[in-house]
Chain A
C-alpha cells in the first residue's frame, strides 16, 4: 500500500500516541491550556485522541495577570465549548501567599509563573503535566525529552535526563515528582500554522493583523507607556505570552495562509522577534527551565 501521509499526518499521529501514553501511564495528568496557538493545537490533538469520550485530564492555566484579554476570553470560551474542566491558578494568589515577591508591579511575571505552576501541581497532586513546548523554539528545548522528569522540587536537570529510545516513554515517578510531557516537541512554528489551517482551528484575534498603537525600541515594538506618543501600525502577535515581555511584529497577514507565507519567509525566529526574556543571555531559557519553567 502506498502511503499518501503528509508530514502533518505524521506529526499528528505521533502527538496522539504521546497523549494516549500519558492517559495510559499517569495516575493524575493535567494539560496546560493558555489560549495560545500551541495549546490550541494540543486541544485539537486531544479531541482526536479521546473523542467521543471525555479527556482523561482537566485543563489548567497559570494566569500571570498580565495576559491579553482576547486570549483569556478565547481560553474560557474554548474550554466551555469542549465541555472540559478548566482550572485557573494565578500569580496574584502566590503574591498574596507571599511565595512570589516582585520588585515592581509591572515587572515581567514570566519567571514568577514557575512558582505558581509548581504550587498548583502540588495542590492537585498531578504526576504528569502536558504542555505545548516545541524543540524548535529555543536551543535548551532542543535537548528536552518528550517525557521530561521533574524532581520533588519541580527542577529539571539537563545533564541527568532519562534516556528516551524508540517510542518507549518512561512516565514513572515517585510521590511528589512529576513528568512534563510535550506531544508537539517535533513541530515547528510553520507546522503549527499549517495544522491550524488544515484543521480550520480558531485562534485569538491578536494573532492576525490589526491596527495597534506601538512604540519602537531596540528593534522591538512595545505598547506605549502612559504619556508616551506611539504610532499606529498594522501588527500581529507571533506568540501571546506575558504582555510585558511579548512584542508584536509588523504584519499585514489577515488569515492563516498569509501567516504561513510570512512564516516561510521570516528572517527571525519566533522568540527572537517577540520575546525580551530570552535575549538576556545565551542560557536564560535553560536557567529558567531548571527552576521549573515550562
Chain B
C-alpha cells in the first residue's frame, strides 16, 4: 500500500484520538528560493490537508497575479502585505495529522531581517527542517538557519537537500553537500542530525518515496518527522512546576503545568523561594486523582503541609534544585524596533514569575553566520543577538537553557510600552 493510502486509512482510525505519538512542533527554515513553500505545500497536499476550496482560492490568486504556475506560497502567506510583497514576514502556523501524530509547522521567513521571527518560531519547536538548494550548495543563509535552531536548543535537525531533480538526482551532489554541512555542524554536537535527499516539486522523499531516488535507503521526510522522540528528554529532567494559580477552597490546590521532569504522589519537593520541604499529597484534574504527572501535563497539586505558595513560586525536585539567582548571563535576541536601552527599566518574565530587571553589562555581539563573538559597535538593534549580564530585583530559579528550555528561557518587557522586546537564554 502506498504511504498516501496508509495516511487515509490511519485518518479513519483517528476516531477517538488515541494510538498516536502526540504532537510534534517543527520549524521550516529556508526561503521561497529553496523551495520551502513548495515543500510545505507538498506535505499538506500529500497528507490531504489542503482542501478543494483552498486550492481554488490559490488558483484564483495565482492567475490574478499572472503567474501561470500554482503558487503554493499563497497558501501560507496569510497577510495582505505578505501577498503584495510575495514574501513571508511573520510566523504562520500550519497543521496536519497522520494516523501516528499531529504536526504543527511554524513557517518562518528565511531572510536575515526577519531573524526575530525565526527565533520566535524556533522557541517552541522540537525539530527543525533546514532546506538546502542542491543546485546552489551550502549558502550562508542555511548556516544561519542551523545556528539559530541550535541557539534555541532544537535537538532534532533534518536537513532537506532539495531540488535534486535539477541536479539529475545525483548521489554525488547529495553526498558532497552532506559532507560540507556535516563539517560545518560538527562543533554544535546536535544530538539528532539527519539528511534526506528530495525533490519537493516532484514529490520525491517528502511523503511518498517517488521513483527517482532509489539509491537512498533512509526515511522520507514524513517518516522522519513521525519517528522523532521528544518526550524522553523532557521527562528525564529534574521536576519543575511553576505555580500559575492558587485555588483556595477546602483543599488548597496549586495549579500549573509540569515544565520538566515527572512527579508522583508522595514525592519529596521543595517550594521556592521559601525553601520549605514537603511532599506531594495529591495530583488531580477535574476531580480525577492521578498517581503521577509528567512534563507537559496541566494538573493541580496538593501538598502534605500548609505552605504559603503563590503565583510565580516554583515547586521542584527536593534533590535536584534549580539555581536561585539575582544576577546571571544570557544570550539575548533583541526583538523590538526601538534599540536596547542599556540603562532602561525592563520587566523580566521567567516561567510564571515577573521581576524587575536591568542590564549589568552587554558583553559582545554573536555573529549568526559563524557563532563567533564580535565587538559591540553602536546600539543593539532588532534581530541582533548579544551576550549580556542581567540583574534582577527578586531571585529567579533557573537551569541552563541548554539543559531545560522551560526554566532557562525568559522574555523582557518594556515597562513603559508593555512591548515584548527581547528573548533570552540563560547560560
Contact = CB atoms under 8 A, between A and B. Distances in A.
Interface stretch (A13-21, A106-114, A227-235): A13-21
B423 interface: yes
B216 interface: no
Interface in A20-43: 20-21, 23-24
Interface size bracket, B side: 35 or more
Contacts of B19: 6
B411 A188 contact: no
Contacts of B57: 282
A188 B79 contact: no
A40 B92 CA distance: 26
A290 B245 CA distance: 32
Interface in B42-86: 51-54, 57, 61, 75-81, 83
Nearest to A269: B51
B139 interface: no
B296 A7 contact: no
B285 A48 contact: yes
A5 B22 contact: yes
A163 B116 contact: yes
Contacts of B89: 159
**DSSP class of A's interface residues: helix, strand, loop or mixed?**
helix
A14 B91 CA distance: 19
B95 interface: yes
Interface stretch (B9-17, B218-226, B368-376): B9-17
Given A166-B123, A170-B418, A159 B79 contact: yes
Contacts of B231: 2-3, 5
Interface string A163-191: 11111101011100000000001101011
Contacts of B95: 135-136, 186, 188
B52 A267 contact: yes
A257 interface: yes
Contacts of A272: 51-54
Nearest to A158: B79
Contact of B14 (A194, A266, A268): A194
B413 interface: yes
Interface stretch (B181-189, B199-207, B255-263): B255-263
A153 interface: no
B101 interface: yes
A63 interface: no
A225 interface: no
Interface in B113-172: 116-117, 119-120, 123-124
Interface residues of A, number: 71
Contact of A7 (B17, B116, B298): B17
A168 B410 contact: yes
B178 interface: no
B102 interface: yes
Nearest to B64: A282
A49 B248 CA distance: 14
B12 A7 contact: no
B405 A24 contact: no
Nearest to A283: B80
A55 to B, nearest CB: 11
Interface stretch (B268-276, B286-294, B358-366): B286-294
A261 interface: yes
A273 interface: yes
B401 to A, nearest CB: 10
B235 to A, nearest CB: 5
A162 interface: yes
Interface of A: 1-3, 5-14, 16-17, 20-21, 23-24, 47-53, 56, 135-136, 139-143, 158-159, 161-168, 170, 172-174, 185-186, 188, 190-191, 194-195, 197-198, 257, 260-261, 264-269, 272-273, 282-283, 286
12 contacts: A9-B22, A49-B255, A142-B93, A163-B117, A163-B423, A165-B119, A166-B405, A168-B410, A194-B14, A198-B16, A264-B11, A269-B51
